[in-house]
Amino acid sequence: MKIRTQVGIIGAGPAGLMLSHLLYLQGVESVILEAASREHIESRIRAGVLEQGTVDLLMETGVGERLRREGMFHEGIELRFGGQTHRIDFCELTGGKGVAIYAQHEVVKDLVAARLTANGQIVFEAANVQLRGLDGARAEISFEKDGLLQELSCDFIAGCDGFHGVSRPSIPEGVITSYEQAYPFAWLGILAQARPSSVELIYAYHDRGFALHSMRSPQISRLYLQCAPDEDLSAWPDERIWTELQRRFTLAADWNLNEGPILQKSVTGMRSFVAEPMQFAKLFLAGDSAHIVPPTGAKGLNLAIADVRVLADGFKQFYESGSTELLNRYSEICLRRVWKVQRFSWWMTSLLHRHVSNNPFEERRQLAELDYVTSSRAAAQTLAENYVGLPREPY
């Protein structure tokens, strides 16, 4: 069977779903092909921090109703080190901006519901997706659904299929230059049935390693601790996780880490990765298919949304006027933000993680940097304006 559409989108993560939603609002047709099931993408535990610009976009485009009701709106974070807690007041430092804590899979649920209510097409469990004719007259995507081979013919393809997807590897060899950096640590993350122990997020620097206190609701805590990249989860019974978290957080005497049943555990590796350019002929890469950031800056999801905003504007210009001027500059426009976000994510990561070498010079340097960030308004403001999200690139 052959289907036609204007924009074929591979992947129903935040990038693919938001792109499809924005295109719908501007009258452009799209079809999303997703390898996983709807249940899977709507329950996958991932990121949780939405920048101010992401919050505003979700609300302005009519998919922010549940976020408005259930999201937890934060005006700052805490940095904990050397036995003390220091608050970075985003609202005061950025002229009123903040972040929202709202799980990525809730954003995905809201976007899936909006697309399906508007009769948008999402093909779940699309297998063996293959891209063809990227530099020909029409791009083609073949896939199998329920054992039947199908073809999607489109003007353009948006590769929103994450780091391990099929889009980036479909680009001919030699077109893309990859920039990559690995880190010698990972995060062990848990979701726990425990009341959050603080109103805001706590990023803790400790000589046993980094720890992060986050949350998902007034009843659910999300906690992370620095571990080895090849950490074996079976060596971490619940008891050991709580003991380690207690050690890394409980520097302040009047503070208590609430415990409760652990609902989910995982180890997430860390890398920085950028593919340049983010376009080849009719294929545009967006989100994790084009770049990965280490999670310390809470930027992965937000960067994916920033990409598709630019891409949707490019398609809008094309379908309204026939001009590819903005589409031609898509990669260049996105990469300016991507590299600034890479810089920030790398900086937060190297500021807060314990280095494996245990180099005393490195430790003193980190403590001096933390002292500077929490005592200089200029330094705190730099952290704050990056964390709440840099303004959109002009174009």
Active-site residues: which are they?
A: 74, 203, 295, 299, 387
Query: Is 110 near ligand FAD (CB under 6 A)?
Result: no
Query: Is 8 near ligand FAD (CB under 6 A)?
Result: no
Peptide bond into 294 cis (omega under 30): no
Minimum distance, C-beta of residue 394 to ligand DHB, in the bound complex (Å): 27
Minimum distance, C-beta of residue 37 to ligand FAD, in the bound complex (Å): 9
Minimum distance, C-beta of residue 214 to ligand FAD, in the bound complex (Å): 8
Tokens of 393: 């690139």
Query: Is 165 near ligand FAD (CB under 6 A)?
Result: yes
Minimum distance, C-beta of residue 68 to ligand FAD, in the bound complex (Å): 21
Angle between helices 300-321 and 14-25 (to 10 degrees): 30
Nearer to ligand DHB, 111 or 223 (CB): 223
Best CA proximity match to 184, nearest among 337, 24, 305, 362 = 362
Query: Is 52 near ligand DHB (CB under 6 A)?
Result: no
From ligand DHB, ligand FAD, none, interface partner of 222 (C-beta below 5 to 8 A by class): ligand DHB
Footprint on residues 269-288 left by ligand FAD (CB under 6 A): 287-288
For residues 101 and 80, what is the distance between their CA atoms, to the nearest angstrom? 20
Nearer to ligand DHB, 201 or 275 (CB): 201
Site string for ligand DHB, 176-215 (x = CB under 6 A): -------------------------x----------x-x-
Measure the CA dihedral 58/63/65/71, to 10°: -50
From ligand FAD, ligand DHB, none, interface partner of 214 (C-beta below 5 to 8 A by class): ligand DHB
Q: Name which position in 8, 287, 295, 389 contacts ligand DHB (CB under 6 A).
A: 295
For residues 380 and 382, what is the distance between their CA atoms, to the nearest angstrom? 5
- Residue 117 CB-half CA count within 13 A: 9
State the residue number with the nearest CB to ligand DHB: 48
Nearer to ligand FAD, 12 or 215 (CB): 12
Q: Name which position in 7, 18, 35, 49 contacts ligand DHB (CB under 6 A).
A: 49
Q: Name which position in 295, 334, 351, 373 contacts ligand FAD (CB under 6 A).
A: 295
Minimum distance, C-beta of residue 167 to ligand DHB, in the bound complex (Å): 24
Tokens of 221: 């805590």
From ligand FAD, ligand DHB, none, interface partner of 202 (C-beta below 5 to 8 A by class): none
From ligand DHB, ligand FAD, none, interface partner of 389 (C-beta below 5 to 8 A by class): none
Query: Is 298 near ligand DHB (CB under 6 A)?
Result: yes
Query: Is 47 near ligand DHB (CB under 6 A)?
Result: yes
Query: Is 296 near ligand DHB (CB under 6 A)?
Result: yes
- Contacting positions for ligand DHB (CB under 6 A): 47-49, 201, 212, 214, 222, 295-296, 298
- Contacting positions for ligand FAD (CB under 6 A): 10-16, 33-36, 41, 46-47, 104, 126, 129, 160-162, 165-166, 268, 287-288, 295, 298-301, 304
